[in-house]
Structure 1
């Protein structure tokens, strides 16, 4: 999957799936614009990626979103691929214990941040006139329920709905819009989930979560990134509006 000279914009690029995707796109020759909330964290995480444009931004602030798009275009002239990846899990509480603030925070990042990224990147891709590829990070939580995670689950269901709608809006412009739906990935987010599930006994929580996966383990960030690269590549030229479960066989156990 050759991305030589392609301009790839990635949000949530300082860790986990976003960072893995950045490294893989870089290895395939892409020019990278990398977005995350904290500049120093972004610098530390991406120091091994040569030539990347680092853009600290708050994805919930539309002015910041427009700025990271504009600065990418100013530096590289265009955007060919957008990996719309920034997201948070929020607090883990049953619905009767959930706070307004937690719901607002999760939905702002995971829904508004995704939508505003699409708004400004799609506008840029349409102006370029040569199509483009967008990969949104959803989750198995966008297809299933999870006790204590209603805010996160709601937000990821929304991402899948937005993904489908924007794919239909942009198909005639040659812009492909797809989503990945990972189950547990061996990242800091899963450490948080383990702690919330069994505080003080995180190793047992991990064992329990991994045992529920037919393949018996979490995914690695690089495995999710590989699917992102495929969906962003010309090899996926007739795929749009789709969402792909990448869950070690979990989809085979449910309807």
Structure 2
């Protein structure tokens, strides 16, 4: 049994992952910024904003107080923005995406790696997303830039962490959450419908698969990918015969 902390774990994939880990017997604590969601959470939760390092330190301290240590920390919290060219995106919205997606991950890594070094070991996972692999999508430049930076940061940390501590990347692929569909116009949704129907998956499909690997694959520099090139190729090759609608339960 491991103790696992998940940021942004009161909704979407983070919540699905937390529930799947609890079902597997692990001790889990999550955080979110909405007090109502934290209060209603069916897994232990605290209010914490990833852009506030002191808040994440309090999250770590709370998990250690409750469970004795933290074995795995997952930097899952993330936001997207309106699908606009980067030069049109309002400064406040752009800054918020950078603060949550990049600064928030850096804060989480700083808190978790320091704590794990002091306790003698542990593993940090950072969430990949559109842009980590360098793929360019017009209208999502700021979001993609933050995820590209998270990939670089994770690779650098893998060479910097002390013995016994590891960092790695989790790649959940296209998961049907607010983050995936945020900012689509009706026309954009229509144009993207075929690709989404082939590649997108529901939280209930991806979360259990990831839950089985966040502990078993916790090695420094590890990269866990749900939507591998082989799986993508197979889905496109069989799309004429296998009808999928991940947006309908």
Q: Does the 8 Å CA contact 1:140/1:181 hold for their aligned counterparts?
A: no
Q: Does 1:68 align with 2:48?
A: no
Tell me: CA distance 1:203–1:162, structure 2 relative to 1, closer, same or farther (3 Å): closer
Task: Flag the structure with higher helix content.
Answer: 1
Could you tell me how far apart the structure 2 residues matched to 1:189 and 1:248 are? 20
- Structure 1 stretches lacking a partner, 5+ long: none
Aligned length: 232
Q: Does 1:178 align with 2:158?
A: no
For the aligned residues, what is the CA RMSD?
A: 2.3
1:110 aligns with 101
Tell me: CA distance 1:173–1:232, structure 2 relative to 1, closer, same or farther (3 Å): farther
Q: Does the 8 Å CA contact 1:11/1:35 hold for their aligned counterparts?
A: yes
Correspondence for 1:192 among 182, 201, 213? 182
Could you tell me how far apart the structure 2 residues matched to 1:13 and 1:209 are? 27
Could you tell me how far apart the structure 1 residues matched to 2:191 and 2:177 are? 14
Under a length normalisation based on structure 2, what TM-score does the superposition of the two structures give? 0.84
Where do 1:1-255 residues align within 5 Å?
A: 4=1, 6-44=2-40, 46-47=41-42, 49=43, 52=44, 54-129=45-120, 131-143=121-133, 144-170=135-161, 172-193=162-183, 196=184, 198-199=185-186, 204-205=190-191, 207-210=193-196, 216-233=198-215, 235-236=216-217, 239-247=219-227, 249=229
How much has 1:223 moved relative to structure 2? 4.0
Q: What SS is found at the alignment partner of 1:176?
A: strand
- Structure 2 stretches lacking a partner, 5+ long: 234-249
Q: Does the 8 Å CA contact 2:53/2:111 hold for their aligned counterparts?
A: no
- Deviation string 1:78-131 (CA, Å, 9 cap, x unpaired) is 1111111000012221123122222211110001100111101111111111x2
Q: Does the 8 Å CA contact 1:7/1:78 hold for their aligned counterparts?
A: yes
